[in-house]
């Protein structure tokens, strides 16, 4: 056990940047997050896997403050940010790159990036980050005067990530960056996500349905089902786990697929 932990340098020593405790979120009467607890450590990529409707997006929305939780705590750099307004959360260093890109379609690429840095006032830093971002996504520099709505899906995804980076986040919440992209593009984008994590030191919380690519870049993973965390482990062990293979990687197991559900049987901790 100790050896296996040591293989992953980040998780061995790094401090916790985000710690969620017993979080509950509702859409009206519908309880979408049912008591989630999880931790994200400095410098890691932590993935949250789960099928459609598991509550992954809701979890991210609750962290970034566009939704208010009913119960629970979200600890980040020494304070409980649960229920804070989104602009305060962004200022504190958490940026949400939403599902489905959500670029500003009529603004140019450049203007979209400028909106990413809306909460910042350090002109020189913003300029430097723009160069940094164009370094990772050269295509955006080529298209910088083009309306974002006219970009391809892959380019829009790159823009959404780039725009998020312009906030200079300590923690980036990425919601299904692989959605609707070709395998080749998914690979390209995940390579960049990993590089951003390593080179820029951005801690990532990566929500995915594509468990395979997510677990390949992530250090640690959680599996969500019906608003709850049902599994939590290092990526290597999740990849090797029979259940994950069976339910999320499409490998045929001994039991019939889709018959079994991971309720509270294996709640984390």
Partner 1 sequence: MDVLQLFVSGLANGCVYGLIALGFVLIYKATEAVNFAQGDFMMLGAFITLGLTNDQFWGLPFWLSVPIAIAAMGLFGYLIEMIVLRRMFGQSQVAIVILTIAMGFVLRFAAGLIWGNEPIALESPIAGKDVRFGGLVLGLDEIVVIAVTVISTILLYFFFNLTKLGVAMQAASQNQLAAYYMGIPVKRVHSLIWAVAGMVAAVAGILFASKGSIDPSIGLLGIKAFAAAVIGGFGSLPGALLGGIIVGLIEPFASYYIAAGYSQIMPYLLLFLILVFRPHGILAQIHRKKV
Ligand X SMILES: Nc1ncnc2c1ncn2[C@@H]1O[C@H](COP(=O)(O)OP(=O)(O)OP(=O)(O)O)[C@@H](O)[C@H]1O
Please list every residue from 44 through 73 that binds ligand X, using CB under 6 A: 50, 52-58
Smallest distance, ligand X to C-beta of residue 175, A: 7
Q: Which CB sits closer to partner 1, 51 or 126?
A: 126
Q: Does 20 help bind ligand X (rule: CB under 6 A)? A: no
Report the alpha-carbon distance of residue 177 to residue 73 in Å, rounded. 26
Cβ neighbors of 244 (< 8 A, separation 6 or more) are 49, 211, 215, 223, 231, 238
32 binds ligand X (CB under 6 A): yes
Q: Which is nearer to partner 1, 172 or 185 (CB)?
A: 172
Q: How many residues comprise the chain?
A: 269
Q: Which distant-in-sequence residues (6+ apart) come within 8 Å of 36 by Cβ?
A: 20, 22, 23, 24, 55, 59, 72, 224, 227, 228, 229
From residue 196 to residue 235, what is the string marking binding to ligand X with x (rule CB under 6 A)? -------------x--------------------------
Instruction: Give the nearer residue to ligand X in terms of CB position, either 130 or 175.
Output: 175
* Most distant CA atoms of the chain, gap in Å: 58
53 binding partner (options ligand X, Mg ion, partner 1, none; Cβ < 5 to 8 Å by kind): ligand X
To the nearest 10°, report the CA torsion of 97, 208, 19, 129: -30
Contacts with ligand X, residue ranges (CB under 6 A): 27, 30, 32, 50, 52-58, 99, 209
Enumerate binding residues for Mg ion (CB under 5 A): 57, 99
């Amino acid at each position: 056990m100790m050896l296996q932990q040591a293989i992953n340098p980040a998780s061995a020593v790094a401090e916790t940047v985000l710690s969620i405790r017993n979080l509950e979120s509702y859409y009206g009467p519908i309880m979408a997050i049912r008591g989630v607890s999880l931790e994200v450590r400095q410098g890691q990529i932590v993935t949250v896997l789960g099928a459609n409707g598991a509550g992954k997006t809701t979890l991210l929305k609750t962290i970034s403050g566009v939704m208010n939780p009913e119960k629970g705590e979200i600890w980040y750099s020494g304070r409980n940010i649960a229920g804070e307004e989104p602009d305060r959360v962004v200022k504190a260093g958490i940026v949400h790159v939403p599902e489905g890109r959500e670029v500003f379609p009529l603004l140019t690429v450049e203007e979209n990036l400028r909106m990413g840095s809306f909460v910042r006032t350090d002109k020189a830093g913003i300029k430097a980050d723009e160069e940094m971002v164009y370094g990772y996504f050269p295509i955006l520099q080529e298209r910088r005067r083009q309306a974002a709505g006219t970009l391809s899906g892959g380019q829009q995804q790159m823009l959404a990530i780039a725009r998020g980076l312009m906030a200079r986040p300590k923690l980036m919440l990425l919601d299904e960056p692989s959605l609707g992209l070709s395998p080749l593009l998914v690979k390209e984008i995940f390579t960049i996500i990993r590089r951003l994590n390593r080179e820029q030191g951005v801690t990532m919380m990566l929500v995915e349905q594509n468990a395979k690519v997510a677990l390949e870049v992530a250090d640690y993973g959680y599996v969500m089902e019906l608003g709850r965390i049902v599994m939590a482990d290092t990526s290597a062990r999740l990849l090797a786990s029979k259940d994950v293979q069976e339910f999320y990687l499409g490998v045929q197991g001994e039991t019939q697929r889709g018959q079994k559900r991971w309720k509270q049987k294996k709640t984390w901790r």
